[in-house]
Amino acid sequence: MIKTKRVPSKEPKALTDFDDIVSSEGFSVVYPLAAGTALLVKMKMFIQSLRLALGASDMQQWMFEGLLKEVQEIAKDGYRTLYAVYLTEEQTRGCLIAFYPVHLQHEGHIQVPLHFEDLMSLGHRPAVGKH
């Protein structure tokens, strides 16, 4: 069983938010179980674009603008994009990205794995249980 902790989360609303995400040493993604196929495609395209931005330092600003538009498109379909960049027990900067239904109350925190290895083992998987 993966040990977790609650950390503050944010919605990416500015280009600088993506600086935080790409400065982490690794990230994982949690997709909602209830999202339809078209929405999952948008979410996965967002993650692919984020991966491209990681390796494109000369075009990051332009790519971050595109990522912000993708976040807005996902929101139109009823999901917030949330992220938390935090220090793991090993003092490694990890990032968890989650998609959260807009109609549910969000308390500004998400559960993240304590250990970097556990974070990376999540990969990109559907959420289990409560969003």
pLDDT in tens, 17-39: 988 888 889 888 887 777 778 88
Euclidean distance between CA atoms 107 and 76, whole angstroms: 20
Buried b / exposed e over 5-41, threshold 16 CB at 10 Å, is eebebbebeeeebbebbbebeebbbbbbeebeeebee
* Domain range list for the chain: 4-126
**Measured distance CA(29)–CA(122) in Å, rounded:** 7
pLDDT digits (tens, 9 = 90+) for 69-94: 999 999 999 999 999 999 999 999 99
Cβ count within 10 A of residue 121: 12
Average pLDDT value over all residues in the chain: 85
Q: Nearest 5°: CA angle at 71, between 119 and 62?
A: 95
Residues in Cβ contact with 87 at an 8 Å cutoff, skipping those fewer than 6 apart: 93, 94
- β-pairing verdict for 93-101 and 124-126: unpaired
